Amino acid sequence: MDRIHLWVVFMAFIVLLSVTSAETVQVREALVQFLQKLDPGNNPGEENWGWNMSSDPCIDAWKGISCDKSMQFVKKIVLDQLDFTGVLDAVSVCSAKNLAVLSLNNNNVSGILPDEVSNCTRLTHLYLHGNSFSGDLPGSLSRLSNLKRLVISDNGFTGGIPDISRVSGLLTFLAQNNQLDGVIPKFEFSNLEEFNVSNNNLSGSIPDVEGHFNASSFLGNPGLCGEPLPSACSPPPPPTEKKGPSSKMYLMYLGYALIGLILVSLIAVKVIWKSKNKKKEIAKKGSQTDAKKDKISSSTSSESKRGGNISEYSITSVESGMTSSSLVVLSSPVVNGLKFEDLLRSSAELIGRGRHGSLYKVTLNSGVTLAVKRIRDWDISRDDFKKRVHRIDQVKHPHVMPVVAYYCSRQEQLLVYQFQENGSLFRLIHGSQNGQLFDWGSRLSVAARIGEALAFMHEGLKRDGIAHGNLKSSNILLNNGMEPCISEYGLAEVNNQDQSFLPPNDIILDKASPVNNAFKADVYGFGVILLELLTGKLVQNNGFDLGQWVNTAIREEWTVEVFDKTLVSEGASEERMVDLLQIALKCINSSPEERPSMREVSAIINSIKEYEEKSLSSEA
Ligand SMILES: *[C@@H]1O[C@H](CO)[C@@H](O)[C@H](O)[C@H]1NC(C)=O
Ligand SMILES: *[C@@H]1O[C@H](CO)[C@@H](O)[C@H](O)[C@H]1NC(C)=O
Ligand SMILES: *[C@@H]1O[C@H](CO)[C@@H](O)[C@H](O)[C@H]1NC(C)=O
Ligand SMILES: *[C@@H]1O[C@H](CO)[C@@H](O)[C@H](O)[C@H]1NC(C)=O
Ligand SMILES: *[C@@H]1O[C@H](CO)[C@@H](O)[C@H](O)[C@H]1NC(C)=O
Ligand SMILES: *[C@@H]1O[C@H](CO)[C@@H](O)[C@H](O)[C@H]1NC(C)=O
């Protein structure tokens, strides 16, 4: 069975359907009813703004309505500050199936936000700030899988916050000044741009906001506790029934505490003694070491500091045998003669932190900026590490970032790259609000380039068993010419990869050939990147699983829903999007054995790209 062809027919059918009609009479009727229910009576003389049955919402430009390019479908309804006092009729407004933006800010709409708001399946922006809504937030909000910005601040909403953490790609959640209660569900805080639940009646401990939000997002909730609020959560009350053992336990803890105290004071004494010694040394050396505040300075504790992206970092925790000769410069005109001290003296900014290490942006005094990857707790011998880095350096590909220099000690490894100002593929896909910049042609070409580069690396390094190990869109960087470059190749342990990127089967299955699995895990990671390119959605580990979602969507025949709306509205070839989707799904097959090799994947993508180019030139 040739599924692709079935799909093409299916797509063609959909396209035909959509070409033949503008918004139907039913939709117009529903929209007119939606406006009536909002009760626009406070605007004498212009209650209807053209919203009537005898005209077309797009062609006759009903007030507040914007349509797609072909003027067939209502995409946006923006009716801010018009003194509406009625209610929101979700069933009616959602009969406009393509509605992406609904904004009713600063009116006086009352009543509930109906469950049927989830009928607006393509909704990306819902703005209801400054109204008189009341009642509970509908749980169906979590089914609005395309939602990016949800603003319900300054209303009278009550009840709990539904678990919208399932909505991947949510960027904004503003719900301040309501009467919401219960606990805050776990959001994917690292993806959110805006978050505010101040002035509600929320309680319990705040989930880990991963340093992305401060107290000002949580103010005015008497029952809330924990970071980033100053009020710590009180520990659960000690069990009172079992008095005998518990008092023994207290004694035990007291013992531990004493031992701890002694240890701490010992360390403190040592540290003070050491720093005195250091000061003496520095005094001897004279003013040469005029230590700037923001240079790479002391202590591992700075790494655990929360609440900001900029942080100092240290390499001094490394054992003392560190000398300038430990830094090996591979090949780069940019940093000719770079010394370890140069790194230490430069200002550093923490720009990313993962499970196995951190990434810093280091600006040398010469003005050159570098990205320094610091890997910790990687149980690899110096020799193996060296060999690995040199092997990767030998297999050069223009779309793989070269290592400029490296440093290696027993506890940690540093890798130095040239810093790329243009950010990552992740930012390109998810960063810009409507992604106009990133059209279908560019996405296809990014896919082809990374696919080719990865196939090349796999072939060159298969014998050494060095896979990428942690392939994801945030590891694909854009160079000065906006060309994609794979970074951090081979920096994850084969057996200790970021497991969020391995489907569960990979870990259990096939322990016999972890190396082969590592290559297949790269193929999986690449498949996920393809899905991100196609859907514009985030991959999340928390509940939502992009691969699973896409599979479900296809099984239920809402394939078109899967694609990024900006691609669809741009008029990207659905046939070729479906083709690319097919490969993506093969790559994320739950059984590693079933996944194609990167060479096969790359060949197919190249042929899709050729078709695309041919069809463009035949159009022209
Ligand atoms: C309907 O709206 C159009 C403008 O969109 C207007 O020209 C026409 O007079 C309106 N008809 C009625 C019956 O209100
Ligand atoms: C909003 O509507 C309510 C009645 O639903 C009314 O009591 C209140 O005064 C209105 N507020 C404003 C600002 O118009
Ligand atoms: C809207 O949603 C409700 C349930 O949420 C469903 O029964 C109804 O059929 C939907 N209406 C449309 C027009 O899709
Ligand atoms: C806030 O919630 C608590 C229970 O957590 C309840 O006792 C209290 O009445 C609520 N306050 C308001 C103003 O709703
Ligand atoms: C908290 O964050 C907001 C923006 O997210 C910022 O404007 C404000 O200055 C921050 N406040 C503190 C105390 O850091
Ligand atoms: C959150 O909302 C409260 C109340 O409107 C405001 O004082 C605070 O500055 C807001 N915080 C952020 C981060 O927007």
Ligand 3 geometric centre to CA of 127 (Å):
21
Ligand 4 geometric centre to CA of 362 (Å):
49
- In angstroms, the CA 100 to CA 80 distance is 16
Q: Which of 530, 440, 435 shows the shortest CA–CA distance to 476?
A: 530
pLDDT over 70 at 333, yes or no: no
* CATH architecture designation of domain 305-419: 2-Layer Sandwich (3.30)
Nearest atom within ligand 2 for CA of residue 132: 1
CATH no., domain 24-225: 3.80.10.10
Ligand nearest, relative to CA of residue 160: 4
By alpha-carbon position, which residue is closest to atom 4 of ligand 1? Answer: 50
The model's confidence at residue 359, banded by pLDDT at 50, 70 and 90, is confident
Cβ of 85 below 6 Å from ligand 2: yes
Nearest atom within ligand 3 for CA of residue 115: 5
Ligand 4 geometric centre to CA of 202 (Å):
9
Domain ranges of the chain: 24-225, 305-419, 424-620
- In angstroms, the CA 144 to CA 154 distance is 22
- The pLDDT of residue 477 is 92
- In angstroms, the CA 566 to CA 557 distance is 20
Q: Which of 334, 343, 338, 335 shows the shortest CA–CA distance to 361?
A: 343
Cβ of 107 below 6 Å from ligand 2: no
Neighbours of 60 (CB within 10 A): 12
The model's confidence at residue 429, banded by pLDDT at 50, 70 and 90, is confident
By alpha-carbon position, which residue is closest to atom 7 of ligand 3? Answer: 116
Ligand 1 geometric centre to CA of 62 (Å):
10
Task: Please give, one letter per residue, the 3-state secondary structure of 181-222.
Answer: EECCCCCCCCCCCEEECCCCEEEEECCCCCCCCCHHHCCCCC
- The pLDDT of residue 497 is 40
Nearest atom within ligand 6 for CA of residue 176: 2
- The pLDDT of residue 573 is 86
DSSP 82-112: S---SB--HHHHTTSTT--EEE-TTS--EE-
pLDDT tens across 99-128, in order?
Answer: 999 999 999 999 999 999 999 998 999 999
When the candidates are 1.10.510.10, 1.10.287.3510, 1.10.3720.10, 1.10.10.10, the CATH number that belongs to 424-620 is 1.10.510.10
Is 436:69 a contact under the CB 8 Å cutoff?
A: no
Q: Which range has the top average pLDDT, 259-263, 301-305, 376-380, 602-606?
A: 602-606
DSSP letter assigned to residue 424: B
- In angstroms, the CA 436 to CA 424 distance is 17
Is 483:399 a contact under the CB 8 Å cutoff?
A: yes
* Local structure of 249: helix, strand or coil: helix
Ligand 6 geometric centre to CA of 549 (Å):
34
For 456, the token pair is 């090349």
Ligand 4 geometric centre to CA of 177 (Å):
15
Handedness of CA 403, 405, 408, 413 (dihedral sign): negative
By alpha-carbon position, which residue is closest to atom 8 of ligand 2? Answer: 108
Ligand 5 geometric centre to CA of 211 (Å):
12
| Identity of residue 539 | V
373 is known to lie in a ligand binding site: yes
The mean predicted confidence, pLDDT, of the chain is 77
- The pLDDT of residue 17 is 41
Ligand 6 geometric centre to CA of 199 (Å):
9
b/e for 408-446, b at 16 or more Cβ within 10 A? beeebbbbbbbbbeeebbbebbbeeeebeebebeebbbb
CA distances from 501 to 101, 145, 192, 520, 537 (A): 33, 21, 21, 11, 16
- In angstroms, the CA 485 to CA 464 distance is 22
Give one word for 50, left, alpha or beta, with left for phi > 0 and alpha for psi -120 to 50: left
| Identity of residue 526 | F
Which of 27, 117, 119, 122 is the pocket-test mutation for ligand 3 (most atoms within 8 Å of CB)? 119
What are the residues whose beta carbons fall under 8 Å from the beta carbon of 204, sequence distance 6 or more? 182, 183, 184, 223, 224, 225
By alpha-carbon position, which residue is closest to atom 5 of ligand 6? Answer: 176
Q: Is 205 exposed, middle or buried (0-12, 13-18, 19+ CB in 10 A)?
A: middle
Cβ of 214 below 6 Å from ligand 5: yes
> What count of Cα atoms within 13 Å lies in the side-chain half-sphere of residue 575?
11
Cβ of 219 below 6 Å from ligand 5: no
Ligand nearest, relative to CA of residue 196: 6
Ligand 5 geometric centre to CA of 13 (Å):
51
Nearest atom within ligand 3 for CA of residue 90: 1
- In angstroms, the CA 529 to CA 474 distance is 10
- The pLDDT of residue 175 is 97
Ligand nearest, relative to CA of residue 141: 3
pLDDT over 60 at 18, yes or no: no
pLDDT over 80 at 28, yes or no: yes
Alpha carbon 348 to its chain's center: 23
Cβ of 110 below 6 Å from ligand 2: yes
Cβ of 105 below 6 Å from ligand 4: no
What are the residues whose beta carbons fall under 8 Å from the beta carbon of 295, sequence distance 6 or more? 312, 344, 345, 346, 347, 348
Q: Which of 176, 131, 100 shows the shortest CA–CA distance to 566?
A: 100
Cβ of 181 below 6 Å from ligand 4: yes
By alpha-carbon position, which residue is closest to atom 7 of ligand 1? Answer: 50
Ligand nearest, relative to CA of residue 183: 4
Nearest atom within ligand 1 for CA of residue 48: 14
Cβ of 474 below 6 Å from ligand 4: no
Cβ of 493 below 6 Å from ligand 4: no
Nearest atom within ligand 2 for CA of residue 108: 1
The model's confidence at residue 607, banded by pLDDT at 50, 70 and 90, is very high
- The pLDDT of residue 296 is 34
pLDDT tens across 201-226, in order?
Answer: 999 999 988 888 999 999 999 999 99
DSSP letter assigned to residue 503: -
Cβ of 216 below 6 Å from ligand 5: yes
- Specify the pTM: 0.48
* Local structure of 268: helix, strand or coil: helix
- The pLDDT of residue 256 is 54
pLDDT tens across 476-525, in order?
Answer: 998 888 889 999 898 876 444 433 334 433 433 344 456 678 899 999 99
For 312, the token pair is 């100092």
Residue list, ligand 6 pocket, CB within 6 Å: 176-177, 196, 198-199, 216-217, 219
- In angstroms, the CA 515 to CA 95 distance is 52
Nearest atom within ligand 2 for CA of residue 83: 14
Ligand 3 geometric centre to CA of 292 (Å):
63
By alpha-carbon position, which residue is closest to atom 5 of ligand 3? Answer: 116
- In angstroms, the CA 331 to CA 335 distance is 8
Which of 48, 55, 60 is the pocket-test mutation for ligand 1 (most atoms within 8 Å of CB)? 55
Residue list, ligand 1 pocket, CB within 6 Å: 50, 52, 54-55, 60
Q: Which of 66, 134, 136, 79 shows the shortest CA–CA distance to 106?
A: 79
Ligand nearest, relative to CA of residue 49: 1
Cβ of 223 below 6 Å from ligand 4: yes
Nearest atom within ligand 1 for CA of residue 52: 1
DSSP 310-368: -----STTS-TT--GGGEEE-S-STTTT--HHHHHHSEEEEEEEETTEEEEEEE-TTS-
For 481, the token pair is 């010419």
Q: What percent of the chain has pLDDT over 70?
A: 73
What residues does 418 pair with on adjacent strands?
A: 370
